Amino acid sequence: MVAALGIVFFQQEISKPNTVTIKGRIPSGHTKVAAFYPDGHYNLIQFSGGEFSIDVEKGAPLVLIFLSDNNDYLGYVTLENGIDTFPMTRVAEGVATIDLGNISLSGTTFTPDHNPIADNEIQLTPEEQAVVAQIDDFFASLAKNPDTDSNGKVDFLEHKFFHIGILYFINGGSFGSNLTPDVSTQARIEGYRLMFGAQDTDRPDTVVFNGPEGSGLSNATSEQRNVYTGMTDYFSPYVDNPQLPPGGRYTVAYKTTDLSFDIPDQSSASSRIVLAVPTVTLNDDGTINKISWRYISGDGGEVDPKGITTEFQIQIDGTGTPYQNYPQPGRMYNSEWLPSEITEHVLPTQNIKWADVTCIYMAYNDIYGNHYVVTFFRYSGMSFSPPHDVSFS
């Protein structure tokens, strides 16, 4: 863990070669538009006459938020079909400008005439669109309520950033006598932890989570925190009843303030999240040579991880001698964090016996900061137990 030294929160100037221009027309006069990113940085511009143009990063997801001249919240842009963010990680090659056209307003929801996903400027297959619509829910909650402390001011304009995310634990299936497991589809989500992140000064040791009725979170003190420079992530207790967080309002008691996050229904997560399915290759002596994998959605459809996941880690539990000293009981091997486009990993040790392995965890982070641990057992019927350590990059 790293001691906090300050706040990592800023308005970022973006170099032109790494940008896409988003423009459009809204039914109002003088207003402001902000492109806001999952790590808390943003780009804010003021415009007049209802027409706006803002440069945004090519390689990061974002939400677009409109504010009045007085910085009152007006609303956010939706791309419909449950996608309330711009997954700019999947912008097509050669696209320099996205013109949303005329944008209509209903309540606090801005809907453009032109949808860049439907026009393939942002390239997602129907299967991938369903995945993005699922995994952007927690980050998109900040577009729908950027004033989480309810003080009448948008948080990021006060140099504060609070976010909510999810850590899912998934029983992916079992190997049996094979080196590629039989996969459970729809995905068997066994439980979850909520994640709360704060970029702020004087961050406390713990926070308290509360959820709507039936969420399994009532005055639940955080069980672990990961401290980074300028930021702390807090994790709720593990909840397996229910296995999925119900939709509704979640609050985090942080210092002396209750922060509010409205999360939509998550009942589709089992069919829409991503699974990394491993195949083990053995040496002649029965030790593991390498592990390769493919990505599928929870209902079995093929998914390209690029621009949906960010990094990946293999974790192996068993009864044999560990490769290094690990804090997790029974852990034989942890890989380094690997780029999501990597689909094969040759183990740096060739001494881990397949016969000693009890399970393989395929863990990854998505582009919105959520985390997933998918467990594949050697044999069916083995008892599921979520990993206790939730440290990740």
Q: Which of 99, 129, 159 is the last residue of a domain?
A: 129
Residues 6+ apart with CB under 8 A from 330: 317, 318, 319, 358
CA distance 237 to 219: 11
Distance, CA of 174 to CA of 155 (rounded, Å): 45
Residue type, 87: P
Among 129, 157, 189, the domain-final residue is 129
Burial class (CB in 10 A: 0-12, 13-18, 19+), 274: buried
Q: Is 210 helix (H, G, I), strand (E, B) or coil?
A: strand
Structural contact between residues 134 and 82, judged by C-beta atoms closer than 8 angstroms? yes
Q: Is residue 41 part of a domain?
A: yes
Contact 165/195 with Cβ under 8 angstroms? yes
- Count of domains in the chain? 2
* Res 280: pLDDT: 98
Q: Average pLDDT by consecutive 10-residue portion of the chain (393 residues)?
A: 33 65 89 95 93 94 96 94 96 96 95 95 95 97 96 93 96 94 91 95 95 96 92 96 96 97 95 95 98 94 92 96 93 95 95 96 96 91 64 51
Which CATH number goes with the domain that contains 56? Answer: 2.60.40.10
What's the rounded Cα separation, in Å, for the pair 135 and 129?
10
Domain boundary residue, one of 129, 156, 186? 129
Contact 99, 23 (CB under 8 A): yes
What are 225's strand-pairing partners? 234
Q: What size, in residues, is the chain?
A: 393
Q: Report whether 67 contacts 76 (CB < 8 A).
A: no
Domain range enclosing 89: 16-129
Residue 161 resides in a domain: no
pTM of the predicted protein model: 0.91
Residue 355 sits at φ, ψ, to 5 deg, of -65, -20
